[in-house]
Amino acid sequence: MQQLNFAPVPFHGTTLYLVDYNNEPYTPMRPIVEGMGLDWKSQYTKLKDRFASTVVEITTVAEDGKQRPMICMPLRKLAGWLYSVHPDKVKPEIRDTILAYQNECDEVLWQYWTTGMAIKPGISPPPPARDSFLEMLVKEFGKGNLAAAELLKSRYGLALDMEVQRKQNAWKRMTNKQKLEEYGKRFHPGEG
């Protein structure tokens, strides 16, 4: 049996799960169906009939420690199933829940389509990817490394003034007394 990684996801007062299966996120469907207030038997039939090419049965260890098969759908296909549920054909008391699931899915897809990413309100986006080579070059340039300056220019299009950098580095290495003397030479030549 394949080792599975479960990730619990709190969603509208219930806990859903993501399962890593064949290097792709899947979600067990029964918790979603029951979390929405839908009948599992009728949705199971729909999943087998209309989504047979995407659902798989994954055997895993349940909360009670026993092995159980779960009907799972690739996360990338979940929206298709969500939209197959017609709010006007469900009990009035669960209609708002169905619409909430669908609207949140709508919003996520719209954000992804228009901005390239979907961010849930209140959740910080991931930090941008770091370029460790660029960071190393900037540090080396800061030390006065000419080769780093050339690489910054050729690879990243950054034209940096090495002479200005040398002066700034020299200034940083000076003592306060030396800085005062240098200041006096620059701004009061011939005095002293």
Q: Give me the phi and psi of 58, to 5 degrees please.
A: -115, 125
pLDDT band at 47 (very low <50, low <70, confident <90, very high): very high
Angstrom CA distances, 116 to 16, 25, 77, 112, stand at 25, 19, 18, 5
Q: What is the mean pLDDT of residues 89-112?
A: 79
CA distance 96 to 106: 15
Sheet with 5-11, edge to edge strand ranges? 5-11, 14-21, 24-28, 67-74, 56-61
In the three-class reduction of DSSP (H, G, I as helix; E, B as strand; rest coil), residue 185 is classed as: helix
User: What percent of the chain is modeled with pLDDT above 70?
Assistant: 69
More confident residue, 171 or 121: 171
pLDDT of residue 167: 77
- Name residues whose C-beta falls within 8 Å of residue 100's C-beta, 6 or more positions apart in sequence: 12
Max intra-chain CA distance, the chain: 96
The C-alpha atoms of residue 63 and residue 61 are separated, in whole angstroms, by 7
Q: What fold characterizes domain 5-86?
A: Mlu1-box Binding Protein; DNA-binding Domain (3.10.260)
What are the residue boundaries of the structural domains of the chain, listed by start?
5-86, 132-186
Q: What is the pLDDT of residue 190?
A: 64
Give me the pLDDT at residue 121, please: 65
Please report the pLDDT score of residue 2 as a whole number. Answer: 45
pLDDT of residue 22: 85
pLDDT band per the 50, 70, 90 thresholds, residue 187: low
Q: Is 41's pLDDT higher than 90?
A: yes
Q: Ranked by mean pLDDT, which of 13-17, 23-27, 38-42, 66-70 comes out on top?
A: 38-42
Lowest mean pLDDT among 53-62, 117-126, 170-179: 117-126
pTM assigned to the model: 0.54
**Lookup: tokens for 82:** 């969500």
